[in-house]
Each structure stands twice: as C-alpha cells, then as structure tokens.
Amino acid sequence: MEEYFKKVIIALDTNEEKKAIEIVRLLKNRVGIFKVGLELFTGAGPSIVRRINEEGCRVFLDLKFHDIPNTVYGAVKQAARLGAFLLNVHASGGRKMMEWAKKAVEEVFESDSEKRPKILAVTVLTSLDVEDLREMNVEKSPRQQVLSLAKMAKEAGLDGVVASPEEVREIKEVLGRDFLVVAPGVRPAFAAALDQKRVMKPLDAIQAGADYIVIGRPVTAAEDPLVALEKIFD
Ligand SMILES: O=C(O)c1cc(=O)[nH]c(=O)n1[C@@H]1O[C@H](COP(=O)(O)O)[C@@H](O)[C@H]1O
C-alpha cells in the first residue's frame, strides 16, 4: 500500500493558493507529490512552489513549455530554480527545444546534480484521441505518436515523458524501465472521464508500469477529497 501512496500525484487545479494549501494539508500524509499547473501557477504566482515545499511535499511543476529553444531554455532555468521535483515541456516543440530544456536544468544544478528537477516531455495530451489527431493532420494513432515522441525525448536526454496509461507498457518495453512515465488520464470507477479521452483505472495504470499517476478532479472536486482518495486506495 505504502508503495502506491508514493506513486500518486494530486493535481491542484484551482486558482487560489489558500484552497491549494488546504488540499495539501488534508492529503499530505497520504501522497507526497502535488502538481502545480497553469491555473494555480497563474493565479497564485511562483511562490506557491515554495509554499508546498514548506509543507514537506514535492512539486510537479506542470507548465508545459512549448516555444522556440532559446525561450524554453530561459523559462526552464527560471522554473528549475523554484524548487520543483518534476518539470515538463511539450515534446512537439521538437528535439532541439528539448535538448535546450535539458541543458537549462543542468546548468542551474551544475554543482548539485542530486537536486536537479527531473524533466519530462508531454507526448500526446490525454484529452486527444485518434479523431483529434486526424483533424490536426496526424495520421498516426495516439499510441504510435506517443511512442515516436517518447523516443525523441529520450534521445534529447530528458528523464521521461507524460503519456496516458494506455501507452505506459509499450514505452517501458521500448525505452527501458528507467525512463520515467507519468500518467494522467486516470479515472477510478466512481469518476466520470469528463474532458479526458485516453483513460484507465488507477491500479491498472500502476500495474502497466507507470512511475507516477496524476489524479485531479476525482479527488479535488469531491465533497471530501480525503474520503475520495481513501476510496481509490481501497
Ligand atoms: O502534463 C500533465 O500533467 C497532463 C498531461 C496530459 O496529457 N493530460 C493531463 O490531464 N495532464 C494534467 O493532469 C491533470 C489531470 O486532471 P484530472 O483530469 O482532473 O484528473 C490536469 O491537471 C492536466 O493538466
């Protein structure tokens, strides 16, 4: 059981620092990592990362950078200094952009590589299915597209990827056990998929080999987030 707690990342998708910290305090004995995404970062500002660290928890800073290599290099340097455990960029920004993102974190933590945040590439968003990809003229299936972006991320030197639980097993088989896979798109039986399309149940995602699973609304939008989390662990 303990082993499962360590694999759960709770997505704090709210614009209020107060609400985010309340959830952290409520759940921190059961999970060790909280995700700060675009809404919370924009609403509460960069200091939210330090606030969560002060609660004794690690942070996945999910800002999904996607820009020209030089801009991402500069942004990743700033993000890396905030104290996150995990950071991400979009793989579709290309190989060079990912290489420069890696270079940025290495430069910031040159003298203390132990403290360097792990840097991940978002492959194909879990809200997209084969039809959505076709509409964007991507003829590959989500699975094929995820795999080819994940290979490129590994070649660019990143630590792992964000992908749906459906692709975890194959990424691990092809790219090795040490290449991290963080899987959002996780839905316990009691929760609706909402805007997510490539989803799996939490235990199935972990058994497929995900290093971490990301769960947001099924827990944070529940009347009692702790009860919802316990239900998932049960
Ligand atoms: O990078 C992410 O974390 C991410 C990638 C992805 O492909 N899909 C995805 O849902 N996420 C994030 O994971 C969280 C999922 O939240 P729920 O759908 O509420 O469980 C959200 O904060 C998303 O921003």
pLDDT, averaged across the chain: 97
35 assigned binding-site residue: yes
pLDDT band at 151 (very low <50, low <70, confident <90, very high): very high
Contact 171 CB / ligand 1 (< 6 Å): no
pLDDT surpassing 80 at residue 3: no
pLDDT of residue 84: 98
Q: Is the pTM of this model over 0.95?
A: yes
Q: Which atom of ligand 1 is nearest to the CA of 88?
A: 1
Contact indicator for 59, 28 with CB cutoff of 8 Å: no
Mean pLDDT score, 86-106: 98
Q: Which atom of ligand 1 is nearest to the CA of 215?
A: 20
Number of domains in the chain: 1
62 is catalytic: yes
pLDDT surpassing 70 at residue 82: yes
Residue showing tokens 């996780």:
186
Mean pLDDT score, 8-33: 97
pLDDT band at 32 (very low <50, low <70, confident <90, very high): confident
Pocket test for ligand 1, best of 87, 126, 146 (most atoms within 8 A of CB): 126
110-132 pLDDT, tens digit per residue, is 988 889 999 999 999 999 999 99
* Among the listed residues 146, 145, 156, the one whose alpha carbon sits nearest the alpha carbon of residue 98: 156
Mean pLDDT score, 178-205: 97
* Structural domain range at position 223: 2-233
Dist CA 104 CA 64 (whole Å) = 15
The predicted complex's ipTM stands at 0.99
Give the CATH number for residue 52. Answer: 3.20.20.70
Contact indicator for 133, 124 with CB cutoff of 8 Å: yes
